Structure 1
Amino acid sequence: MPIHPTPAFFFSHGSTMMLGEESEPAEVWKSVGDEAQKRGVKSIVMMGAHWECTGNKIEVAMNPQPQKTPVAYVAPKRYHNFKLVPDIPLGHRVIGMLQESGFEVEANTTFDYIHDTFLILIRMFPLRNSNIPVVVISANARFDPHYHIKMGAVLRPLRYENVLIVGSGGTVHNLYRNYWMQMVLYRDNFAQSVPPGDFALEFRQAMEDAFTMNRGPVLRRAIAKLMKHPRYREAHGTDDHFISAAFISGVAGDLEDVAWPNSFLAECWELVNMANSQFQLGTWE
């Protein structure tokens, strides 16, 4: 058992950027995967940005042989050979932990992985047989930040068992505000024909400040408050890419987490207004 918790991560992702052009975030994902393997991380628990359940429910992916859903603008040959390794025993335990804490949670035995999770795994573990077993959990479609913070808090003890917990979402992710022409014509997702809009730059900075200038329970409060930021709705046309940040603040926002810093790791911009930022919550040592 580690002396202190395994760090948690918020990986803000794009889509084609993960498997297309090389980028600083892609290098960071690889370094995190290398570190996880070096330290013998047993499993990964991940909440993505494209799977949510209605009503009061959440679900845990329990398909023993999941497939990968198609990725827009990405040739299937770039990802179809990657081997997914679901951690079914840990999935049962995650369900039990959440149920014991009052969540309405069920196993989903037919769920196929979406690009918000498997593309990050491909960057973390580029060799087909090197990936660590994974449990994917859904969000809830009401997108209540406090609900998702509590989810993270319930699963936080897994970090003391050498389990890596990841939130995969977006720092600024509003598809209605992106510039698509360079992507559609030339498959160039990194083209910046004009600077990002003020709304994107302001909210991106607010996100960095919330993660890096707060620790412990104050971090949870800071992330939840971002949904009331005056530029939030411009930065996030929908809540799905933000809510995993609330989840990860629950994972790494306990009083004990005050002892360890949260760090900004890397960033890139896509389609002019989409910011992809990576944050590490806690430290390896």
Structure 2
Amino acid sequence: MMPSLFIAHGSPLLAIEDNEYTQFLMQLGKTMPRPKAVVLFSAHWESRAQKVSNVDQYSTIYDFGGFDEALYQIQYPAHGDEQISKEIEGLFTKSGVPFEIETQRGLDHGAWVVLRLLYPNAEIPVISMSVNSSLTPEEQYKIGKALSSLRAKDILIIGSGGTVHNLRALKWIDNGEADQWALEFDDWLAHHLQKWDLPSLFKYDSLAPNAEYAVPRYGSEHFIPIFYAMGASDDNRKAALIHRSFRYGNLSHSVWQFG
């Protein structure tokens, strides 16, 4: 059974950096079972309606500015898979999840930075999915749960975002140390994820220490992909933190494996 993953996509600079985290992701792509396809929920694709991509070949979206020119030269020409997109449509219909099909949109950096580190040759089909921060965590979890049967077909489901993501709090002069408030939030989260404590997790914004800093209201779209990824493993409620590090004081590089 393929697990589902939550992967922090960090700064776009990860695409050209060689560090502890990029090395981990590259090794993860080599050691995990090879998926038939990847279904990826990206924090950088927000939509009120749940979007399901049905794209033959993706363009590469550079949804950032002011970074190294080398980033804008990167291409990740992944292909889609019409059959799997159709299967997702059927699963959503069966579960009562409203959705819309997207046939044009490329892959944003929340998707291609992660995918390029895992699967640099862009040879694995990708189904790109939007997220909706106006939904409740229970509703986001339900969307992921609707896709849980795909894991038995060797399809990898990824939520791409960040457990602690507050751009206004970043320290661009990085001394390698994580801020205490970020650690406290992430430790609370880890405790409740490992217990699969959904009642507490669904109320993280009022229960978790420093939640207002770790998941600011203007940036909750980076946190919520974790609920989509969790829901996809509802049938095997196991959570393991397989990597955690921080950059710029509080930007989390967490990878959670579910199932």
C-alpha spacing 1:45/1:222, structure 2 compared with 1 (3 Å)? farther
2:175 maps to what in 1? Answer: 192
- Residue 234 of structure 2 aligns to a residue whose secondary structure is coil
Q: 2:43 aligned to 49, 52, 67, which one?
A: 49
Alignment of 1:101-180 (within 5 A): 101-126=95-120, 128=121, 131-180=123-172
C-alpha spacing 1:19/1:161, structure 2 compared with 1 (3 Å)? same
**For the residues of structure 1 that align with 2:159 and 2:71, how far apart are their CA atoms?**
26
Q: Aligned-pair distance for 1:253?
A: 2.5
**For the residues of structure 2 that align with 1:197 and 1:121, how far apart are their CA atoms?**
28
**For the residues of structure 1 that align with 2:187 and 2:34, how far apart are their CA atoms?**
34
C-alpha spacing 1:96/1:75, structure 2 compared with 1 (3 Å)? farther
**For the residues of structure 2 that align with 1:209 and 1:28, how far apart are their CA atoms?**
23
Q: Aligned-pair distance for 1:40?
A: 4.2
Q: 2:28 aligned to 18, 32, 35, which one?
A: 32
**For the residues of structure 2 that align with 1:156 and 1:144, how far apart are their CA atoms?**
19
8 A Cα contact 2:4 2:257, kept in partner: yes
Answer with 164-173 or 73-82: which moved more: 73-82
- The letter for the 2-side match of 1:225 is K
C-alpha spacing 1:233/1:58, structure 2 compared with 1 (3 Å)? same
8 A Cα contact 1:223 1:245, kept in partner: no
Is residue 2:225 matched to residue 1:244? yes
Cα RMSD, aligned residues only: 2.1
Is residue 2:6 matched to residue 1:14? no
Unaligned segments of structure 2, at least 5 residues? none
1:231 maps to what in 2? Answer: 210
C-alpha spacing 1:19/1:40, structure 2 compared with 1 (3 Å)? closer
1:118-142 CA-to-partner distances (Å, cap 9, x unmatched) read: 111110122x3x5311111111240
Is residue 2:251 matched to residue 1:274? yes
Unaligned segments of structure 1, at least 5 residues? 183-190
- The letter for the 2-side match of 1:233 is E
C-alpha spacing 1:22/1:148, structure 2 compared with 1 (3 Å)? same
- Under a length normalisation based on structure 2, what TM-score does the superposition of the two structures give? 0.89
8 A Cα contact 2:144 2:230, kept in partner: yes
**For the residues of structure 1 that align with 2:94 and 2:167, how far apart are their CA atoms?**
37
**For the residues of structure 2 that align with 1:208 and 1:77, how far apart are their CA atoms?**
32
1:175-220 CA-to-partner distances (Å, cap 9, x unmatched) read: 111124x4xxxxxxxx227x43332121111222233x22xxx344
Q: Aligned-pair distance for 1:117?
A: 0.7
- The letter for the 2-side match of 1:13 is H
8 A Cα contact 1:69 1:115, kept in partner: yes
Moved over 4 A (4+): 76-79
Q: Aligned residues: percent identity?
A: 25
8 A Cα contact 1:220 1:250, kept in partner: no
What is the number of residues matched between the two proteins? 254
8 A Cα contact 1:223 1:246, kept in partner: no
- The letter for the 2-side match of 1:234 is Y
**For the residues of structure 1 that align with 2:163 and 2:69, how far apart are their CA atoms?**
25
